[in-house]
Amino acid sequence: MNRKAEIVVAGYYGYGNLGDEAIRVALREALAKRGIDTFWLTARPQTKDEIDRRSLLDVYAALRRSQVLVLGGGGLLQNRMSNRSLLYYLGLIGLACMARRPVFLLGQGIGPIDGRFARALTRVALKGTSYIGCRDQKSVSLVRSLGSNAVIDGDPFFLLPPVEAPPIRSSLVRHIILCLKGAKDDGEMVEKTVQMLDGVSRQTKISVTLLPFFPAQDLALSKRIADRLNIPCRIVRADTIDNTMHVLEGADLVIASRLHGLEFALRAGAPMIAITEDQKIDAFVAEVRETSGLQIPCVRFASSEQVMLVLESSPAFAIVNEAYLALHARATEGFSRFVAALEEV
C-alpha cells in the first residue's frame, strides 16, 4: 500500500448484498464529487483503493495512511442475529482510536443492541466518535439513550438520483415483485406467500418475479416459492443497480421484507407493501410517512385481500416519486453536513 487517502470507509461491502453495494456506489460518487480520496474496506478487494476488511494489519495500515474512519451506511451496530458483526465494528472503532484517527458514522441504522455488556461496549465506543449520523429517528433515540448525540442524515442510498419519467406498465397483467429475506425457518413464509399469490391470481391476471437482493440468504427461499406456484413466475437476481431498477420499474406492486427492496421500489415509483421483518422496516415506513405523508402498508404477512386493495387503489407514480424526492433532499442535506464536519477535522 503506497498511496494515501483522506478517509477509510467501512460497511458490509463485498458480500453480494445489493443493498449495501448500492450504498457504496452512492457514497463513492458523492465523495468523489467533493474531491475526497478514499480507501474502502471490503470482503473482496479488487481495486487499488479497496482493502481486505479481514486483514487486521492491512486495515490498520490503511487507517495510518488516512485521516478519518467512516462507517458508511447500513445497519452495522446491532446484534439482532449475533454479536459477531457488532463486535467487528466496535473493534474497528477501537482500532481507529489506537491509530489516533477520528471516527464518523454516516447514515447508520443502529440497533437493536441487546444485553448489558453489548450496550456498555457500544456506549463506550460511541463516546469516542466525532460525528454520529443516523438514517432514522429510532436510531437517533437509541444513540441518545446510550449517552451520545446524533443527527438524522438519512440513508446514503437516497443519494442516488431520482427516476424522472414514469414507467410504462401493462394494463392486462398485474406484475408483482417479491423481495423476501431468507431465514433458517421460512416454511411459514413460503406457505403464506403461495396462498396469497394463488388467491390474487383467482381475482386478476398476474405474473410474479422473485427478486433476491442477497442471494446467499434469499435465493433458496425464492426457489421454494417458485416451485410451488402455478402462475407465470421467474427468479431474477438483483445483481446491479441498473438491472434491478429496470425490473422494478415494471412493477404494479412490490412486496418486500428487505429494506433495500423497499428503497429501490420507492426510487422506481412502484407501489409497495412492507413485510415487517425487523425494526428497520418499521423505521423506514415511519420515515417515509413523516417526511412525505406516503402511507406504506406494513404487515406481518401480506394477504390476498391486502394485495388486491393496493392493486386497485395504488398511489400514482408522482406520489411515490415525491416521497423519494423528499428523502433524496434530506440525504443530500445530511451528506453536506457530514462533509462540513469532515472539513473541520
Of 213, 257, 209, residue with least CA distance to 23: 213
In residues, how long is the chain? 345
What is the pLDDT, as a whole number, of residue 187? 84
Tell me what pLDDT residue 1 has: 55
Q: Is there a contact between 110 and 134 (Cβ–Cβ < 8 Å)?
A: yes
CATH dotted code for 7-160+328-344: 3.40.50.2000
Mean pLDDT of 150-157: 95
Positive/negative CA dihedral, 84, 85, 88, 94: negative
The predicted pLDDT at position 166 comes to 78
Crossing angle for the helix pair 187-201 and 304-312, nearest 10 degrees?
50
With a pLDDT cut of 70, the percent of the chain lying above it is 99
CA proximity to 226, closest of 269, 282, 286, 178 = 178
Q: How far is CA 327 from CA 109, 141, 142, 155, 331, in A?
A: 15, 19, 21, 8, 6
The band of 186, judged by pLDDT with boundaries at 50, 70 and 90, is: confident
Q: Residue 136: what pLDDT?
A: 93
Peptide bond into 112 cis (omega under 30): yes
Is the predicted pLDDT of residue 74 greater than 60, yes or no?
A: yes
Can you tell me whether residue 8 is helix, strand or coil? Answer: strand
DSSP-derived secondary structure for 39-58: EEEESS--STTEEETT-HHH
| The dihedral sign for the CA sequence 291, 131, 8, 54 | negative
Answer whether CATH 3.40.50.850 is correct for domain 174-314.
yes
pLDDT tier, 2 (very low <50, low <70, confident <90, very high otherwise): low
Which amino acid does the sequence have at 222? S
Q: Do domains 7-160+328-344 and 174-314 have the same CATH topology?
A: yes
Average pLDDT over residues 177-200: 92
Mean pLDDT of 146-151: 96
Return the domain boundaries, the chain: 7-160+328-344, 174-314
Nearest to 217 by CA among 22, 10, 15: 15
pLDDT band at 92 (very low <50, low <70, confident <90, very high): very high
pLDDT tens per residue, range 161-183 = 998 877 777 668 999 999 999 88
Spatial separation of the C-alpha atoms in residues 176 and 125, rounded to whole Å: 43
* Percent of all residues in the chain with a pLDDT value above 90, rounded to a whole number: 88
3 pLDDT exceeds 80? no
Distance CA 24, CA 338 (A): 16
* Arithmetic mean of pLDDT over the chain: 94
DSSP-assigned letters across all residues of 173-187: SEEEEEE----SS-H
